[in-house]
Every structure is written in C-alpha cells, then in structure tokens.
Amino acid sequence: MFTPAPFNTSLFENAKYGLGCFIGESDSVLYYGHTGFVPGYITYMQYIPEYGISIAFQFNSDASHENFSMKLYFNTIKKAIIEDYRKLKFKA
C-alpha cells in the first residue's frame, strides 16, 4: 500500500501512487493520503507518519477543482498544525 508504483503520475506535488494511497511530500514532510471529488465537494485526507497526525477536510464546493486552490489552503493549514505540534513537543 505504501510502496509507490514505478511510474510517474500527474498528481499534485508529484506524489506517487501506492495501492489506493498517494505517497507525497510537501515542505519536506512525507504524507500518505488521498483526495476525493464529486460535484459539489472536494476532499483531502493525509496522514503524516513523522508526527502521527491525520488531517481530513471536506469542502462543500468544487469551485476550485481545476486550479487546486483548496489544496494550497489545505497545505497552509497543515503547515500551521505541524509548526504548533513542533512547538508543543519541544516544550514538554
């Protein structure tokens, strides 16, 4: 499942594809996840093994399906969560 197939994809961030699972990296952080799209909805889900964090968003709009602006928004929030996690970990 977490072993990427040996071919290039057209996925966002040049992610690879395992068995039903995207394997990608953003801001030097490895993630496993998947996206979903049906008319009216966009979904992003990622598990970040380094931090043991899972993030899932579903947007009640498909207005940005073609330009990936929701994915950029998702990554901005993910980055903030990871930064807060790092700060809390170093305080403990």
SS (H, E, C) 31-90: EEEEEEEECCEEEEEEEECCCCEEEEEEECCCCCCCCCHHHHHHHHHHHHHHHHHHHHHH
For 32-76, how does the pLDDT look when each residue is reduced to its tens digit (9 = 90+)?
999 888 888 888 899 999 999 999 988 887 776 566 678 888 889
Residue 86 pLDDT greater than 80, yes or no: yes
- Provide the residue ranges of all domains of the chain, joining segments of one domain with +: 12-86
Query: Which residue matches tokens 């979904």?
Result: 43
pLDDT digits (tens, 9 = 90+) for 43-52: 889 999 999 9
